[in-house]
Amino acid sequence: NSFTVRRYLYTPDIITTLQQDEVFVFGSNLAGQHYGGAARAAYEHFGAVWGEGIGYFGQSYAIPTMHGGVADIRPYVDDFIDFAFSHPELYFLVTPIGCGIAGFHPADIAPLFRRAVEVENIVLPESFIEQYDH
């Protein structure tokens, strides 16, 4: 993988625009009904596709969080991390997925992203990084 300079220490709390190579990573539902929260922003601004609840579309990457517990979310997070690692030309800004409408807490979701800390082109929210300091 080519070396990527970290642009951010953490994912910005509010993302209204993206650079050309940046990807907005958000929590979705399996049906891809992007009604609220970060999913709505992804749909309205960053190319998320209605009816597509998993994966890379436009400048967005959907990770389903509304269909069960943490164990049900884990495989989608693992797939995302593998995808990001294999696309070093892109820069992934992970929102606090699952911590809004889905009702999880950073302590629940952050462990799923532990491996992402080592991936240079993934930026995590401060609320997730804080979980790794304990």
pLDDT 10s digits, 82-128: 999 999 999 999 999 999 999 999 999 999 999 999 999 999 999 99
Of 3-7, 61-65, 121-125, the poorest mean pLDDT is in 3-7
Six-digit token string for 69: 């517990």
Residues with Cβ within 8 Å of residue 2, at least 6 apart in sequence: 88, 89
**pLDDT at residue 13 is higher than 80:** yes
Query: 41-51, pLDDT tens digit by residue?
Result: 999 999 999 99
For 51, left (φ over 0), alpha (ψ -120 to 50), or beta?
left
Distance CA 134, CA 10 (A): 17
| Mean pLDDT to the nearest integer, 14-41 | 96
Per-residue pLDDT, 108? 97
**pLDDT at residue 2 is higher than 90:** no
Where is 60: in which H helix or E strand? strand 60-64
Per-residue pLDDT, 5? 57
**pLDDT at residue 1 is higher than 90:** no
pTM of the shown model: 0.94
What's the whole-number average pLDDT of the chain?
94
Which of 117, 125, 48, 120 lies closest to 94 in space, CA to CA? 125
